[in-house]
Amino acid sequence: MAERFDYKKSIGVTLDRFIMENQSDFPFATGELSQLLRDIAIAAKIVNKEINRAGLSDIVGAMGSKNVQGEDQQRLDVIADFRFTQALTHGGEVCVVVSEEVDEIIFTGNDDAKYVVAIDPLDGSSNIDVNVAIGTIFSIYRRKSPLGKKPGLDDVLQKGTEQVAAGYVLYGSSTMLVYTTGFGVNGFTYEPSLGEFFLSHPNMKTPEMGRLYSINEGNYDDFEDSLKAYIQLCRDRRYSGRYIGSLVADFHRNMLKGGMYVYPATKGSPKGKLRLIYECNALAFICEQAGGMATDGKNRILEIQPTELHQRVPYYVGSKKMVEESMGT
Ligand code: AHG
Ligand code: MN
Ligand code: MN
């Protein structure tokens, strides 16, 4: 018999409440990290609204400009970048930001603030115009430089192991915010009519083994032989190929269902395509927290010492056994 709807249980836990209740995970928490997470959630709501009506408000399409990596900027890339950097600047908890869309580090002017944020404001931007899921990725670090001084590049060039929190927003068939502070992964679904994120996916875990592989197979001829052999193994096992072309969306699906996403080194891009600081580290942290694994094909992503702001890295992320197999271990 179907379970009866229990109206007393129907009011969920809001993101704000969850953040507040879990603040005690950090013994000396002052509430600044909680406030910062809430600022990010507010910016995400604004960006969500803009994405939802993009086709109506003349904000789809290219800007006609390129970002620092020479990629065409979409209007929504620029809008999302503005919304998040504004929220992080005005929020007062962040001293410096690094964004995919901005060449240099962004000083917020809050030199007394103790956090650093790395952000991909809009991930999967080639999918905006065609109504396919896109995302936002963020990492939060504690600054290295002393409070009160102007922060510098070293505050941003930290290993992923130093993240205090990381998350993503997926603007998909529903909008979700998923984050970790190193005590498991929790997912929240946005209820637009109330303007609130509600806890929908508590303590997310990824299957150890999956049957999905996500890779741009159009680049197959440029892969290393070992990766070609692994892809062939996936085909032999009749695994499903699933590739949206929005890292956040591919990652989220694989985390829930079990699978692996790869953006490898290719002949044309020997360092891969994805960026260590504001794409790979956040999802690597979340993936490990959910029981998965993230490497560059050899080394753990979180232990790579970044040397450049927009550094690229080959990326293998997802179910532990699949990532291990693809590395030949
Ligand atoms: P972004 O839109 O932030 O530049 O990221 C795009 C990334 C990633 O989301 C996606 O998985 C990958 O680029 C797709 O690249 P290909 O088109 O080369 O497969
Ligand atoms: Mn991206
Ligand atoms: Mn982007």
Task: Check pLDDT > 70 for residue 4.
Answer: no
159-172 pLDDT, tens digit each: 999 999 999 999 99
What mean pLDDT is predicted for residues 37-62? 86
278, 283, 286, 291 alpha-carbon torsion, rounded to 10°: -150
Residue nearest to atom 6 of ligand 1 (CA): 124
Distance 4 CA to ligand 3 centre (A): 43
Which numbered atom of ligand 1 lies nearest the CA of 279?
A: 3
Nearest by Cα to 197 from 56, 18, 10:
18
Q: What dihedral angle (degrees, nearest 10) is formed by the CA atoms of 252, 255, 256, 259?
A: 110
Mean pLDDT of the chain: 93
Strands 94-99 and 115-123, bridge-based pairing: parallel
Q: Which of 223, 247, 317 to mutate to test the pocket of ligand 1 (most atoms within 8 A of CB)?
A: 247
pLDDT surpassing 80 at residue 44: yes
Do 15-201 and 212-326 show the same overall fold? no
Pocket of ligand 1 (CB under 6 A): 71, 100, 120, 123-125, 216, 245-247, 273
Sequence ranges of the domains in the chain: 15-201, 212-326
Q: Whose Cα sits closest to atom 19 in ligand 1?
A: 216
Query: 212-326 is classed in which CATH architecture?
Result: 3-Layer(aba) Sandwich (3.40)
Which of 58-62, 136-140, 209-213 is predicted with the least confidence, judged by mean pLDDT?
58-62
Q: Please measure the distance between the N-terminal and C-terminal CA atoms of the chain and give it in whole angstroms.
A: 46
- The CATH H-level (homologous superfamily) assignment of domain 15-201 is Fructose-1,6-Bisphosphatase, subunit A, domain 1 (3.30.540.10)
Q: What is the pLDDT of residue 85?
A: 97
Distance 63 CA to ligand 3 centre (A): 14
pLDDT over 60 at 1, yes or no: no
Token digits of residue 178: 């998923």
| Max Cα–Cα distance, the chain, nearest Å | 64
Residue pLDDT, tens place only, 221-241 = 999 999 999 999 999 999 999
Taking the CA of 69 as reference, the closest ligand is 1
329 confidence band (pLDDT: 50, 70, 90): confident
Alpha helices by DSSP H, listed for 138-246, are 153-156, 225-236
Choice among 31-40, 48-57, 115-124, 277-286 with the minimum mean pLDDT: 48-57
C-alpha atoms less than 13 angstroms from C-alpha of 101 in its C-beta half-sphere: 24
